[in-house]
Structure 1
Amino acid sequence: MKRILKGSIGVFLLLGFLLLGCDQDKKASSESKAQTYTCPMHPEILQNGPGTCPICKMDLVPLHSTAAHGPADDSLNALVKPTNELVISGIKTVRPEKGSRTAEMSLKGVINYNTNNWKSVSARVSGRIERLYVKYSFEQVRKGQKIMDIYSPDLANAQQELLFLKNNSELILLESAKKKLLFLGFTQSQIDQVLRSGKISPTVSVYSPYSGYVAELALNAAASSGSSAQAGGTRISSSSSAGMNEMNSGGSADVVPTVQSISTGQALQIREGQYVTAGQKLFDLINTEQVWAEFFARPDQLQEFKRGMKVSVRSLDIAEQNSDVQVDLIQPYYREGVNYSLIRANLPNSNRAWKVGQLISVSKQSKADGNWVPRTAVLQLGKKYVVFIRRNSAFVPVYIQVNKLTDEWVDIGNSLGPDQEIAINAWFLVDTESFIKAERL
């Protein structure tokens, strides 16, 4: 009996020690987990137990182990979650609609010189410039305006011949002498003045046969570094970008024709006292009463433009400045190895409202058949397009093919079935502030 009691006492003592040891281990582990504190502003401050930060005097907070949170999730599942987790379960859905929509194609362009209206003023006789009334480039000249006084022996001899035939009553030859003076640059009023006075004018005034702005095009073309185009030619800038966002513009790349640089306010090369020869060009006259609206189109856009069709030209700076004109030229070749074609339309400009170098937007409207979804339902990621389709209680992103774009609709072709539901606002699933529609500037 005593042996049994002694054995029982030993067993109870052993169990007591084991239980006491387990409790101490749990207590130690729990205390170790709660003993480390740190400062939110200074994480280098660590201490075992609550307290204040010695730097900023803030209360210390427990330091939690990163292992308790698990590894970071860098997959797309963390970005696109079921709608009940993003509080968008009530977002409206739509289905693709087959039918016709009015599509508007908008391309960027520029107002350029109409080189068909450029004129050259040349000396009809040899002589010396006694006085010059036009002295600076881009000075405005009107038809019939006096541009210079010139002394020419040829003109003096022609006047002497005219008076001789008049005095000898050679009427047939007299008419021929008048025509000769007209060809040499005389006006009818100048001929009548010589016949009335009977005197020869040694210095004759020369009047402009055209209206326009004075320019020396040959000198400007030679001064243009790296320019191989002729005067008034159009070329593609090598620094142009071909990556414009098509969802925003609906047009071609951000490439516009360049305009030839013409110096303004500089003195002309001809001077008073200078001798000129018959046929020598004095200067050029640029007329801007008719200008060109020029823009580039990609090969896939050329089928939308035909010669003679109407397009709408609108200024990018002045909203109320616009005009409807006809396409006059579709350039049938590419220049400088760039896969764009030049399209040109003549633009009347009698009131000088359109300025050369002014940026414009050229647009045309046409009806197109397709499988349409709202433009807000399509999200562009680089060169790809995405919509969110409903699958059970969540929205799943899928890639689609875009055939045509309008201001409000997108033709997705056969990318989705007719019964497929998609979110009406794709951006709402990524950024809840993106549904705000900005006005066009």
Structure 2
Amino acid sequence: MRKKLRNNILCLLALLMLFTLGACSHDEAEHTAGDTEYTCPMHPQIVQNEPGTCPICGMDLVPKSGHGTEVEITEELAFLLRPTNTTVVSSVATTKAQEKTVQATVEMAGIITYDPRRVYTVPARVGGRIEKLFVKYNFQPIRKGQKLMEIYSPELITAQKELLYLVESAPEDKQLIEGSKQKLRLLGATDAQINRLIRTGEESYTFALYSPYDGYVIGLNTAAPTATPSLAGVAAASTGGGMGSMGGGSGAGATAGSSPTPTTGTEGVQLREGMYVSTGQPLLRVANPNQLWAEFNVPAGEVSALAKGAPVQITFPQLPDERLEAKVDFFQPFYEEGESFAKVRVYLPGQQKLAMVGQLVTARASYTTPPALWVPKTAVLDIGTRSVAFRKVKGVFEPVAVTVGTTEGKEVQVVEGLQEGNVVAANAQFLVDSESFIKVHK
């Protein structure tokens, strides 16, 4: 009896233990099931706490991966986890970006033009009428001292009469006589003409105008205003000599100074005999071609590389074997409106037989670049909106955006994007097939 009771108690204890373990397992299962999240393999935005089907595509939901131990992302692991379109695996030849100075050149196109310091204007020093004209057309060669024209001027006649009167009536007053001579000089008379006037004692009614320069005529009075003479002033100036003529001459001189009054001119009117000119009117221009210069256009990005005195080699298209050595002399300090070129002027040394005004020429200016990174031109790929080089990192090539500067020969200057010693693909064009899916690093 006692033995049977003990067996019953042991059975009850075993049943109680099994019931307790089952309840714990059920609670744990319920707790685990409640923490599990289910999602759609095709639509990860669908998440719920119990199994089911995707309301979008109808697929069975699957449990999301459980929370495990957090993995530390090291530099090596991060490199492996990068997207596949950020690197290229290839065995192309490589090169290194080198920092150095290079002897570079700038190609320039230009034109031969006048040296503006050797283009002179011959004005009319007195008003009057052209009696004889010895310069007939533009580009007519003239020399210094050559007679250009003869002018009849009431003001000159009056000044001659004053000098003759002083020489005859007050020869001892040297200062007054010299002042009268100086007045004639300022009106355009030469010393030879003044000495002839004193020697002959007779005033000349026409005075010759001589060229003070060598060269040839350009712009022969391209804007010549006409003038209307005052007949009263002409008549008064042509009266007789003596004391009376001296007084009359003074009055006539004042009248004559204002008599050739300029009127509205016509553009392009050429000088001709019989026309009137006014004081200060530009009659013609004289250009001396013994010294010329060449004016070149330089791209705005390259003009800063040049300096005054930089050597320039000029070539002539019609004479490809001829070379002219010169130096940069002047930089125009502004850009022409709407242009992206700077003007550079180069003096041609000596009297050049090859150069003619208006002739088109080309030139190469040499300069030394500052220290910068240089790579072969083939190592940089222009993809339209940017330039790309392929830098080798841990056995693969990653594209990087670069900014290029001067190109010289087979090398190009890299302003930004690479560092000295970076290994890059020597031929970026070889990887052009990868350009469509490559993600460029800035």
Question: TM-score of the superposition, structure 1-length normalised?
Answer: 0.55
- Matching of residue 335 in structure 1 with residue 336 in structure 2: yes
1:351-430 matched pairs, under 5 angstroms:
351=352, 353-357=354-358, 358-375=360-377, 401-412=403-414, 414-415=417-418, 418=421, 420=423, 422-423=425-426
Three-state SS of the structure 2 residue aligned to 1:304 is coil
Q: Distance in 1 between the 2:223 and 2:153 partners?
A: 30
Q: Distance in 2 between the 1:322 and 1:93 partners?
A: 41
Structure 1 alignment gaps of length 5 or more: 1-81, 84-88, 222-266, 431-441
Alignment deviations for residues 293-313 of structure 1 (CA, whole Å, 9 cap, x no partner):
33344443343244x443415
Pair 1:196–1:362, CA change in 2 (3 A)? farther
Q: Who is 1:145 aligned against?
A: 146
Q: Distance in 2 between the 1:383 and 1:316 partners?
A: 37
Q: Distance in 2 between the 1:130 and 1:309 partners?
A: 51
- Matching of residue 182 in structure 1 with residue 185 in structure 2: yes
Q: Who is 1:323 aligned against?
A: 325
1:229-378 matched pairs, under 5 angstroms:
269-306=270-307, 308-317=308-317, 318-319=319-320, 320-331=322-333, 333-348=334-349, 350-351=351-352, 353-357=354-358, 358-375=360-377
The answer (yes or no) to whether the contact 2:326–2:346 under 8 Å persists in 1 is: no
What amino acid sits opposite 1:152 in the alignment?
A: S
Q: Distance in 2 between the 1:268 and 1:145 partners?
A: 23
Structure 2 alignment gaps of length 5 or more: 1-89, 225-267, 434-442
Larger radius of gyration: 2
CA RMSD in angstroms comes to 4.3
Three-state SS of the structure 2 residue aligned to 1:341 is strand
Q: Who is 1:193 aligned against?
A: 196
The answer (yes or no) to whether the contact 1:130–1:150 under 8 Å persists in 2 is: yes
Pair 1:159–1:313, CA change in 2 (3 A)? farther
Q: Who is 1:207 aligned against?
A: 210
What amino acid sits opposite 2:373 in the alignment?
A: N
What amino acid sits opposite 2:111 in the alignment?
A: V
Three-state SS of the structure 2 residue aligned to 1:189 is helix
The answer (yes or no) to whether the contact 1:109–1:362 under 8 Å persists in 2 is: no
Q: Distance in 2 between the 1:349 and 1:135 partners?
A: 30
The answer (yes or no) to whether the contact 2:133–2:149 under 8 Å persists in 1 is: yes
The answer (yes or no) to whether the contact 2:223–2:269 under 8 Å persists in 1 is: no
Three-state SS of the structure 1 residue aligned to 2:304 is helix
What amino acid sits opposite 2:407 in the alignment?
A: L
Pair 1:366–1:354, CA change in 2 (3 A)? same
Q: Distance in 2 between the 1:197 and 1:218 partners?
A: 35
The answer (yes or no) to whether the contact 2:216–2:286 under 8 Å persists in 1 is: yes
Q: Who is 2:110 aligned against?
A: 109
Q: Distance in 2 between the 1:356 and 1:321 partners?
A: 17
Pair 1:125–1:352, CA change in 2 (3 A)? farther
Q: Who is 1:135 aligned against?
A: 136
Pair 1:156–1:133, CA change in 2 (3 A)? same
Q: Distance in 2 between the 1:335 and 1:206 partners?
A: 40
Pair 1:288–1:180, CA change in 2 (3 A)? same
Pair 1:98–1:348, CA change in 2 (3 A)? closer
Aligned residue pairs total 298
Pair 1:130–1:94, CA change in 2 (3 A)? same
Three-state SS of the structure 1 residue aligned to 2:371 is strand
What amino acid sits opposite 2:409 in the alignment?
A: D
Q: Distance in 1 between the 2:213 and 2:148 partners?
A: 11
The answer (yes or no) to whether the contact 1:103–1:368 under 8 Å persists in 2 is: no
Q: Distance in 2 between the 1:377 and 1:188 partners?
A: 76
The answer (yes or no) to whether the contact 2:103–2:366 under 8 Å persists in 1 is: no
Three-state SS of the structure 2 residue aligned to 1:368 is coil
Q: Distance in 1 between the 2:374 and 2:280 partners?
A: 65
Q: Distance in 2 between the 1:146 and 1:298 partners?
A: 47
Pair 1:323–1:219, CA change in 2 (3 A)? same
Three-state SS of the structure 2 residue aligned to 1:165 is helix
What amino acid sits opposite 1:314 in the alignment?
A: I
Q: Who is 1:126 aligned against?
A: 127
Question: TM-score of the superposition, structure 2-length normalised?
Answer: 0.54
Shift of 1:196: 2.7
Pair 1:123–1:170, CA change in 2 (3 A)? farther
The answer (yes or no) to whether the contact 1:106–1:361 under 8 Å persists in 2 is: yes
The answer (yes or no) to whether the contact 1:312–1:362 under 8 Å persists in 2 is: yes
The answer (yes or no) to whether the contact 2:379–2:426 under 8 Å persists in 1 is: yes
Pair 1:313–1:162, CA change in 2 (3 A)? farther
Shift of 1:271: 0.5
Q: Who is 1:70 aligned against?
A: none
Q: Distance in 2 between the 1:215 and 1:352 partners?
A: 20
